[in-house]
Amino acid sequence: MNTETHSQTAAFIWSVADLLRGDFKQSQYGRVILPFTLLRRMECVLEPTKEAVLIEANRQQNLPDEVRDRLLLRATGKDFFNASPLSLATLSDTQTADDLMSYVNSFSKHAREIFEHFHFEDYVQQLSAANLLYQVVQRFANFDLNPASVTNFGMGVIFEELIRRFAESSNETAGEHFTPRDIVHLTTSLVLTNQDDKLKPNSIVTVYDPTAGTGGFLSEGDAYIQSVSEKVTVSLYGQELNAESYAICKADMLIKGQDVANIKLGNTLSDDQLAGQRFDYMLSNPPFGVDWKKVQKQIQDESTQKGYDGRFGPGLPRVSDGSLLFLLHLVSKMHPVKGRGSRIGIILNGSPLFTGGAGSGESEIRRYLLENDLVEAIVALPTDMFYNTGIATYVWVLSNQKEDKRRGKVQLIDATDQYAKMRKSLGSKRQYITDEQITEVVRLYGAFEEGPKSKIFSNQAFGYRRITIERPLRLAFPMTPERIEAALEEKALQKLDAPRMAALHTALKTLNDDTVLRNRDQFTKRLKKALAAHDITLSTPEQKALLNALGERDPEADICMVKGQPEADTSLRDYENVPLGESVHAYFEREVKPHVPDAWIDESKADAQDGEIGIVGYEIPFNRHFYVFTPPRPLEEIDRDLKACTDRIKQMIEELSA
């Protein structure tokens, strides 16, 4: 069954909404359809062993629950069971609600909890009150969701399509719950390619997703590993914030035979429920541009109190985008370099590449990643790839056990032209990556060669030192009546009483002549003399405010000096980014001094980590490295097209007026 067939099946299931219309709000359709779809899938999975389980349940009904459950699990051959003789097809039409809840409550503990997260019983009672329950049950009883007809992968696609429809009907964001399968496949392939040494027969590997959604990354990671290596035991771990997505993920893991205790519900950033655990492979698509204000206190407390012993030691990004927090979280769960090591694949939007200048949280996080040689490759994806946004996105591949040829280097891959148009858009998703295109991107990554679509840089190439360039303050003092009046409006002088203010006004007017002093020290002496003549004493802040208000910047004026040193003019302050590894002084002499001979470097602005002049920053200007200049068309050609266009317009006007 291909993806298109899965979508058709999902549409068929969603048609149950026709029954609900009028009695339920659109925003409630999914909360009915999703749990019933799960129930039918679980029923189909258990169907081959149902009779054997019922026989065992009757035989062992007097045993303690714990012992009985263990024997029933063995009888079913799965990690869950249902000990009820009922099925959706055999529920009574007179007491459907009671029979249905009896049936659901006969599942084993973890399976039963899944329906609790959907508040299933509440919706069952609402359906019953509307006289719709039996009709809904019968519709679902006829859906063929048997594993022989619908694989686990196919079931994942169906769930995702149902969630997308649910999100559309309730004005929610589908992309917060799952990642398109083509993107999942590409990211998984990049992370797991060339991992033969770790995926040997009889080995045990762990896969983790801190934003698990419906479990797409976990399922794909498991499937990929099983397809390339035999007899590898894969343990899947995840955490998800949305209760309904968590329930679907948990059901999927249950059906796969995974330990559902490894799937957690809660906010990964503020409540890491797998704290202290490390994983071999990590895959994630955190929400794009979502703020972390709700959990700001917990994150800042962890950063302050634990530093590098916690997850957020390198720094914190701005509150408006928490993407890099998820990346730091994943890095904290890598196996030690000298041990197994770990690999990470994470999908981010463009801002983590360049947002934030030197010294900012974002820059410090990039600095940590690059100076610790963790970034292996970044792949630019086409736009319009996700259900809820058409923005540019990137796959970051990280490793703390790089191959020798990759050490100290980062590979940038431009895959923005690797897409095919969808016949029908799904939300904002208008394009997808074909299997052949995924193979080509993975080939570019594996080849690790320079080319039009693959660039290789040293880690240091993305770093720079931001030096502060100062220029001297030059002030002239034209004592016009207008300037004197404006100076007296200074806030620092408004506290003077009326007699002192009048005396100050008179003193300043004595300086009102045609002479324009261009030396602050000379003017200060003249001002003090005028003030003394009128018996006026000003405090240091008042005198400073008065001088600043009376002066105006003049490039012809003398430099203002303080303790024998030029005073910097803050309005002329500028910054230069000097590539790491280059002398800041040599750069200054070559790039700055010829244009502003009176400038100097403020050497007090030093980096907090290495103490050298200039604040270290890192950014990855991805698009700049793949920019190809396209020369404009010749003017003659443009003129010719314009003339042809105007001629057509004239002809149309003539035809209308004829």
pLDDT single digits (tens) 68-89: 888 898 989 888 999 999 999 9
pLDDT at residue 658, as a whole number: 66
Q: Is residue 574 part of a domain?
A: no
Most confident of 11-20, 287-296, 342-351: 342-351
pLDDT value, residue 188: 95
The pTM for the full model equals 0.85
Share of the chain above pLDDT 90, in %: 61
- Specify the amino acid at residue 66: E
pLDDT of 553 strictly over 60: yes
Looking at the predicted structure, is the pLDDT value of residue 242 above 90? no
Q: Does the pLDDT of residue 306 top 90, yes or no?
A: yes
Angle between helix axes 216-228 and 181-192 (nearest 10 degrees) is 50
- In this structure, the strands spanning 454-458 and 429-432 are unpaired
Q: Tell whether the model's pLDDT for residue 162 goes beyond 90.
A: no
**What pLDDT shows up at residue 174?**
44
Q: Residue 289: what pLDDT?
A: 79
- Please provide the DSSP assignment of 509-560 as one string: HTT-SS-EE--HHHHHHHHHHHHHHTT----HHHHHHHHHHH-EE-TTSPBP
Residues 515 and 410 in one domain: no
Residue 329 lies in a domain: yes
Among 317, 299, 318, 333, residue whose Cα is nearest residue 365: 317
Separation CA 127–CA 598 (nearest Å): 81
Pairing between β-strand 281-284 and β-strand 263-265 as defined by DSSP bridges: unpaired
Specify if 581 maps to a domain: no
377 and 505 co-located in one domain: no
Residue 644 has pLDDT above 50, yes or no: yes
Q: Are residues 451 and 541 in the same domain?
A: no
458 with 484, same domain? no
Instruction: Give the number of other Cβ atoms within 10 Å of residue 482's Cβ.
Output: 8
Question: Do 248 and 355 share a structural domain?
Answer: yes
Q: Are residues 487 and 452 in the same domain?
A: no
Question: What local confidence, expressed as pLDDT, does residue 568 receive?
Answer: 95
As a whole-number percent, the residues of the chain with pLDDT over 70 amount to 98
Answer with the residue of higher pLDDT: 440 or 175.
440
Final residue before a domain boundary, out of 108, 128, 146: 146
pLDDT of residue 177: 52
Tell me, what's the pLDDT at 2?
Answer: 56
Of how many residues is the chain composed?
A: 658
Write down the pLDDT at residue 172: 54
| Token pair 């790491």: residue | 580
Q: For residues 489 and 447, state if they share a domain.
A: no
Residue 6: predicted pLDDT: 79
pLDDT, tens digit, 9 for 90 and up, residues 560-604: 999 999 999 999 999 999 999 999 999 999 999 999 999 999 999
92 shares a domain with 220: no
**If you write DSSP's letter for every residue of 432-448 in order, what string do you get?**
E--HHHHHHHHHHHHHT
Cα separation, 67 vs 105, in Å, equals 18
**Sheet strands (E) in 400-479:** 409-414, 420-426, 429-432, 454-458, 463-470, 475-478
Average predicted confidence (pLDDT) for the chain? 90
DSSP string, 476-489: EEE--HHHHHHHTT
| pLDDT for position 135 | 95
CA–CA separation, 20 and 30 (whole Å): 10
Q: Are residues 318 and 392 in the same domain?
A: yes
Token representation of residue 337: 């370099």
On whether both 260 and 286 belong to a single domain, the answer is yes
Last residue of a domain, one of 146, 164, 192: 146
633 assigned to some structural domain: no
pLDDT tens column, 348-376: 999 999 999 999 999 999 999 999 999 99
In which band, very low, low, confident or very high, does the pLDDT at 3 lie, cut at 50, 70 and 90? low
Token pair for 241: 């914030």
> What number is the average pLDDT over the span 474-493?
88
Q: Examine residue 580 and state whether it is found in any structural domain, yes or no.
A: no
The predicted structure's pLDDT at residue 175: 45
pLDDT of the residue at 145: 92
In a domain, 185, yes or no: yes
Q: What CATH number does residue 277 fall under?
A: 3.40.50.150
Of 410, 433, 462, the position where a domain reaches its end is 462
pLDDT for 391 equals 87
Residue 618 Cα distances to 50, 371, 581, angstroms? 60, 10, 13
Beta bridge partners of residue 107, listed in sequence order: 82
Looking at the fold, whether 313 and 416 belong to one and the same domain comes out as yes
Q: Give the model confidence (pLDDT) of 440-476 as tens digits.
A: 999 999 999 999 999 999 999 999 999 999 999 999 9
Summarize the confidence of residues 229-242 as an average pLDDT: 91
* pLDDT value, residue 178: 66
Q: What tokens were used for 227?
A: 């397809």
Model confidence pLDDT, tens digit, residues 619-638 = 999 988 888 778 888 888 88
- For 268-328, list the strands marked E by DSSP: 281-284
- The pLDDT of residue 100: 96
One-letter amino acid at 337 equals V
Measured between alpha carbons, how far is 233 from 230 in angstroms, rounded to an integer?
Answer: 9
The answer as to whether 601 is a domain residue is no
To the nearest 10°, the Cα dihedral for 586, 589, 591, 593?
160
Distance CA 279, CA 266 (A): 19
- Judgement on whether residues 417 and 492 belong to the same structural domain of the protein: no
Considering 9-13, 19-23, 124-128, 533-537, the range whose residues carry the highest mean pLDDT is: 124-128
What is the domain count for the chain? 3
User: How confident is the model over 503-527, as a mean pLDDT?
Assistant: 87
Its domain, for residue 297, covers 175-462
Task: Give a yes or no: residue 317 inside a domain.
Answer: yes
Measure the CA–CA gap between 277 and 279, rounded to whole angstroms: 7
What tokens appear for 454 in the block? 């693959």
